[in-house]
Amino acid sequence: MRLENKVALITGGASGIGKATVKKFVSEGAKVAFCDVNEELGNALLNEIGAEHDFQKVNVADRKAVQDWVDHVARRYNRVDILINNAGILRDGLFVKVKDGQLVKQMSEEAFDSVVAVNLKGVFNCAQAVAPYMIKNGGGAIINMASLVALEGNYGQTNYVATKAGVVGMTRVWSRELGGYNIRVNAIAPGMVLTEMLLSMPEAELEKLRQKPPLKRIGTPEEIANVYLFLASDESSYISGEVIRIDGGMVLGT
């Protein structure tokens, strides 16, 4: 019960890593308020974990919606202790594609802007909304979802890499600015994880991916949730401004 009497907000909590984190935090005694844009999956998970917890449909790119959600959670539970900035999207594509000296395709402005809105601005929106409540409570923990690609770069992910590198930067700024209020801010940087997207791939392609990390397997959402739990708990009470890789020892491009 490492999170007993704690109130945790989790974005993108209806599926994948977010869902695993919701379940993990519930099992460790937290009151969990999670949001997602998928209302059907969110309500199904809430029915599973119980009505003492909370689900709201929220697009983290919508600043007013985020503030309304955080205010609602604070009114219901009278405090905010933990924020897991987990929500994120992908819109992969080449920066430019040239054939026979001619530009044939490039990453669209919409693909760039939509990923920035959710993955970067969404993290900013949520953290800024919870910080005053954490300050009032005398402290808290903010954990942001970065990525291995933020540290290494990745082919076809200009937009995604830019946002995740930005998350790393914001994490380190906030750890400095909020540390005096006893708010710890950290980030995680997962490699490949067996979410719904990977599980939809052909088995032969999955097997190729399994061989890339030195551990010769792909991580699970539960393994990522365990690191979220560690950074949210008092076990990490002297860790702030850190980015923890969770990648099975993988180095991109090898």
Helix (H, G, I), strand (E, B) or coil at 239: coil
Q: Does residue 216 fall inside a structural domain?
A: yes
| pLDDT at res. 254 | 46
CATH number at residue 68: 3.40.50.720
Instruction: Confirm whether 251 is domain-assigned.
Output: no
Domain-embedded: residue 252: no
Which residues, 6+ apart, have CB-to-CB distance to 206 below 8 Å?
A: 198, 199, 218
3-state secondary structure of 94: coil
155 catalytic residue (yes or no): no
Question: Is 11 within 8 Å of 21 (Cβ atoms)?
Answer: no
Collect all residues with Cβ–Cβ distance below 8 Å to 24 and sequence separation of at least 6. 222, 225, 226, 228, 229
Exposed (0-12), middle (13-18) or buried (19+): which is 35, by Cβ within 10 Å?
buried
Q: How far apart are CA 113 and CA 28, in angstroms?
A: 37
pLDDT at position 37, please?
A: 98
Given this model, what pLDDT does residue 11 score? 98
List, for the chain, all residue ranges whose pLDDT scores fall below the cut of 70.
Answer: 251-254
Residue 1 is assigned to a structural domain of this protein: no
The whole-angstrom separation of Cα 113 and Cα 7 is: 32
Distances 116 to 16, 65, 93, 141, 221 between C-alpha atoms, Å: 21, 17, 14, 23, 23
193 in a domain, yes or no?
yes
Residue 253 lies in a domain: no
- Domain containing 11 equals 7-246
CA 38/CA 36 separation, integer angstroms: 5
- Helices marked H in 78-121: 109-115
Structure tokens at 178: 């909020």
Answer whether residue 16 is part of any domain: yes
* Beta bridge partner(s), residue 98: 103
What total of structural domains would you count in the chain? 1
Catalytic position from the list 160, 181, 228, 238 = 160
